[in-house]
Chain A
Amino acid sequence: MPINYYIFLALALFCIGIIGVLTRRNAIIIFMCIELMLNAANLLLVAFSKMHVDVNQPTAGSDAQIFVFFIMVVAAAEVSVGLAIIVMLYRNIHSVDVNFLNRLKN
């Protein structure tokens, strides 16, 4: 399969993620959209890694796959912190609506 298909798929996922972050008002859904963006990047990295494979150089392209593991680990760490923050917020205001926060400011 040509690499373009993968790029289009990853870009589509990425754009869905961005649109979700910008339009949704539920903190958890925004959070899921961010995860979608990260996974789009993962997919793209793996696709490029496959693209760069060279018969003469067996290790070519493998660094991108290792990068993907790092992204997963960091994303997991980020999820744990983020969910903790959202839970803390829920305890205080009994809502995870981002609009509610903007109302608080005034």
Chain B
Amino acid sequence: MMFGGVFFKQKSTPKYWAIGGLLLAIIANCIELVKQHSFFNIDIKNMLVFNNFNLIFIIVALVCTLLLFLLNGRDIEKVGNNISEYFALIFFVLCGIAIAATFNTLLTLFLGIEILSIPLYILTASDKRNLKSNEAALKYFLMGAFSTGIMLMGIAFLYGGNSVSPSFYIDNINIGAGKLPVMIAIGLVLILIAMAFKVSAVPFHFWAPDVYDGAPTVFTSFMATIVKAGGFIAFIRLFEHAFGTAQPQWQMLVALITAATLLVGNLTAVFQQSVKRMLAYSSIAQAGFMLLSIFAMNEFAKQGIILYAAAYSLATIGIFAILVKMNDYTIDGFNGLAKQQPVLAATITIFLLSLTGVPLTAGFLAKLYMLIGAVKDGHQNWLVILAVLCAAISAYYYFKIIQAIYFKESKAEITHNWDVTPAFKALLIITAALIIVLGLFPTLITDWLYYSRA
């Protein structure tokens, strides 16, 4: 991919290669899931573990990326001259996500997270002349590298604290309930901070709005959805396998972070004028919901996080795909969209409803699963109540856009040139249909978690 740019004369060739490659990867993953054994027997010393949970997540991530390419392929080409590099970098990120979702040692966790973030720094900076993009890239890079340092320190402490069986395999770290040794406790907190940085949880979220705002919109769409979900899968895997038995020790800490994330994300999103920035804050708020799964850590939460990853990624990718086509990123820019582009207006409404969590959409069931998981856990019911209240707050700012679309007149006569093809509309309809199908039949995804070849 990387060097493909030298050979391809035509501008759109890399896109087709990328789509083809993604399709191949999706098919390969599906076959592995159905057949329950892998294609290649490479000796990786058990450093990566593939099971249904992470295979399904990888499929979800790949499908979402495919949709992103299909919807926004032409916009990626518009960002700059080095088109094939952009696609190659996205593939590197996907590779990092796959490693981060399947890791079994702290070494592969670290490598996965790094492979995932370093190409993202470049993608953020890809709009070289734009000062906002530069600023976002620098901020993202400094914060990312900072959290990497914290994570490494945490890993070192976990390794040193474990005097019984020193190794990086995450199952060895799981030393059982009871009082944690000091060094392991330090390591746990440091790693928690680093992971909270990566998934932009409050109070480590301050980079996210600026970065999402500054990066080229297509890449924001990728970062805010697929990459963030990948971070969560790594997070949940780490805390389930490495610190699962010590859950009472850290549960309160996670509960506090979750509550802060929900509150800050939702309340600041209310005051945003730019839709892009509002989506950045709403992605922080959605991260709060996903944190509930780490808080609860049971079967419901695991089903929920997969569903949430799918529902949230699909809806946000759809909204960003439409946003890229707009000239004006403020909420007023959406005025009268229903008259000009009825299909776009209808689909964006479905996406927003799904993000809010209205029944019949996938977002509703995803949120429901999370809440059930948290209730079953039963220790912190105030958190569940807070989450429901925050969902209600989120309805306000999502519905503000819907209101602008349907009930406000566009004041300007300027009909801007909509670069919308029938294929784009068809894809949007397919995405919206996927969301509704998942909302009606969530078992389509979740049943695969328990699939095994008899």
A positions within 8 Å CB-CB of B:
3, 7, 10, 14, 17, 21, 27, 30-31, 34, 37-38, 40-42, 44-45, 47-48, 51-52, 60-61, 63-64, 66-67, 70-71, 74, 77-78, 81-82, 84-86, 88-89, 92-93, 98, 101, 104-105
B171 at the interface (CB under 8 A from A): no
Are the C-beta atoms of A88 and B159 separated by less than 8 Å?
Answer: no
List CB contacts (< 8 Å) of B140-174 with chain A: 141-142, 145-146, 148-150, 152-153, 155-157, 159-160, 163, 166-168
Neighbouring A residues of B153 by C-beta, 8 Å:
14, 37, 40-41, 44
Whether the pair B167, A71 counts as a contact (CB closer than 8 A) is: no
Docked pose: A67 CA to B131 CA in angstroms: 37
- Find out whether the CB atom of A93 lies under 8 angstroms from the CB atom of B131: yes
Q: Can you report 29 residue pairs joining A to B where beta carbons are below 8 Å apart? A: A27-B142, A34-B145, A37-B146, A37-B152, A38-B148, A38-B149, A42-B152, A45-B156, A45-B159, A48-B159, A48-B160, A63-B107, A63-B168, A66-B107, A70-B111, A78-B114, A81-B121, A82-B141, A82-B145, A85-B138, A86-B138, A88-B137, A89-B134, A89-B135, A93-B134, A98-B138, A101-B135, A101-B138, A101-B139
When A37-B150, A64-B159 are in contact, do A48 and B138 touch as well, CB less than 8 Å?
no
Q: B406 at interface (Cβ–Cβ under 8 A)? A: no
Complex CA–CA separation, A47 to B157 (angstroms): 11
Q: Is the CB of A85 within 8 A of B156?
A: no
In the docked arrangement, what's the CA distance between A71 and B125, Å? 24
Q: How far is the CA of A89 from the CA of B138 in the complex (A)?
A: 8
Contacts of B118 in A (CB 8 A): 74, 77-78, 81
Q: Does B128 contact A (CB under 8 A)?
A: yes
In residues 93-123 of chain B, which contact A (Cβ within 8 Å)? 106-107, 110-111, 114, 118, 121-122
Interface contacts (Cβ under 8 Å), in number, total 121
Tell me, in angstroms, the Cα distance from A42 to B153 when the chains sit together.
8
Question: Does B453 make an interface contact (CB < 8 A)?
Answer: no
Distance in angstroms between the alpha carbons of A77 and B153 in the assembled complex = 19
Interface of A is mostly: helix
Would you give the shortest CB distance from A54 to chain B, in whole angstroms?
Answer: 9
**Size class of the contact patch on chain B:** 35 or more
Q: How many Å lie between the Cα of A98 and that of B143 in the bound state?
A: 13
Q: Residue on B with the closest CB to A77?
A: B118
A78 touches B110 (CB 8 A): no
Q: Does B210 contact A (CB under 8 A)?
A: yes
Bound: A42/B122 CA distance, A:
26
B289 CB → nearest A CB, Å? 28
B149 touching A34, Cβ below 8 Å: yes
Give chain B's interface residues, CB within 8 Å of chain A: 106-107, 110-111, 114, 118, 121-122, 125, 128-129, 131-132, 134-135, 137-139, 141-142, 145-146, 148-150, 152-153, 155-157, 159-160, 163, 166-168, 210
How distant is the Cα of A47 from the Cα of B156 in the complex, in angstroms?
Answer: 10
| Neighbouring A residues of B142 by C-beta, 8 Å | 21, 27, 30-31, 34, 82, 98
| CB-CB nearest 9 A-B residue pairs | A37-B149, A41-B152, A48-B160, A44-B156, A52-B166, A101-B135, A34-B145, A45-B156, A74-B114
Structural contact, B131 and A104, CB atoms closer than 8 A: yes
Interface-centre pick from B131, B139, B145, B146 (highest chain A CB count, 10 A): B145
Whether B152 contacts A71 by the Cβ 8 Å rule is yes
CA A17 – CA B149 in complex, angstroms? 9
Please give, as numbers and ranges, the residues of chain B lying within 8 Å of A101 by CB-CB distance.
135, 138-139
| B129 partner residues in chain A, CB cutoff 8 A | 92
Q: Which residues of A contact B152 (CB under 8 A)?
A: 37-38, 41-42, 71
Q: In the complex, what distance in Å separates the CA atom of A37 from the CA atom of B137?
A: 21
CB–CB A67/B168 < 8 A: yes
| Given A17-B149, A31-B142, 7 extra CB contacts under 8 A | A27-B138, A37-B149, A40-B149, A40-B153, A67-B110, A88-B137, A105-B210
Distance of B185 from chain A, by nearest CB (Å): 14
Residue of B110, B122, B152 ringed by the most chain A CB atoms within 10 A: B152
Given A52-B166, A86-B138, check contact A70 B150 (CB 8 Å).
Answer: no
Complex interface: chain B residues within 8 A of A45 (CB): 155-156, 159
State A104–B163 Cα separation when bound (angstroms): 50
Contact across chains for B157 and A85 when beta carbons are under 8 A apart = no
**Complex Cα gap A31–B138 (Å):** 10
Chain B residue with Cβ nearest A91: B128
Q: Tell me how far the C-beta of A38 lies from the nearest C-beta in chain B, rounded to whole angstroms.
A: 5
Provide the bound-state CA to CA distance between A103 and B177, in Å: 49
B168 neighbours in A (Cβ, 8 Å) = 63-64, 67
Q: CA separation between A81 and B121, bound complex, in Å?
A: 8
| CB-CB under 8 A for A61 and B145, given A44-B157, A85-B125, A92-B131 | no
CA distance A48 to B153 in the complex (A): 12
Report the Cα distance A105→B131, complex, angstroms.
10
